[in-house]
Amino acid sequence: MPDNLPSRDVHTLFAAAGAAGKVGIAQKTKPVDARPARAGEVVVTRIAGEGVETQSKPAAADDWVVRNRCPATGNEEYLVTAGTFAARYEGPLSAPDAEGWREFRPHGPALRFFLVSEREGAFRFTAPWGEQMPARPGDAIVQDPGRPQDTYRVAAVAFACTYEIIDKPKQE
């Protein structure tokens, strides 16, 4: 991630987007592959054409590595804590392959989102897991309405590939 991106408070941006009618509702719907994480494993999330998006903290026992099924992003992988995984994915829906990957279906909450505008430009912010995360125009900033501290970026191509918009923002 470029260090020269300005740092922004994503919660302030989310509040401003809400006040301007630019927040919608979306839900992750596309199946994923997941495998148990190895204790201490660090997962580096890479988006094809962009590079590193973020890096996880070391995995704890029972955490999961999730891989989106989205060739446009390079099928990016990310670490999900055991509790969050159980709340957001159902399955397994398949037997494990040679590397331990199995299919799961998202069933997490509908998330609030806004799209980063050209006017806001690219910036970085601190993700819930403590790492710096970039955001670029067109990306979605998503937030769990039941856990507003759970606010993070979904790259534009990943959002288009894995989420379904339930309620469009009133103003875009």
Closest by Cα among 93, 90, 113 to 101? 93
Average pLDDT, the chain: 93
Residue 24 has pLDDT above 90, yes or no: yes
The DSSP result for 111-165, as a single string, is EEEEEPPTTT-SEEEE-TTS-EEEE-TTPEEEEETTEEEEEEEE-HHHHHHHEEE
Do residues 86 and 104 make contact, with C-beta atoms less than 8 angstroms apart? no
Indicate the pTM of the whole model: 0.86
Across residues 87-100, what is the average pLDDT?
96
- Percentage of the chain beyond pLDDT 70 is 98
Domain count, the chain: 1
Quick: pLDDT tens for 110-164. Answer: 999 999 999 999 999 998 888 888 999 999 999 999 989 989 999 999 999 999 9
Structural domain contains residue 161: yes
Query: Residue 73's pLDDT band (boundaries 50, 70, 90)?
Result: very high
Structural domain contains residue 89: yes
Q: How far apart are CA 33 and CA 71, in angstroms?
A: 13
Range of the domain at 98: 10-167
Across residues 82-91, what is the average pLDDT?
94
Instruction: Please report, as a single letter, which amino acid is at residue 80.
Output: V
Structural domain contains residue 143: yes
Higher pLDDT, 130 or 77: 77
Residue 1 has pLDDT above 60, yes or no: no
Structural domain contains residue 5: no
Structural domain contains residue 4: no
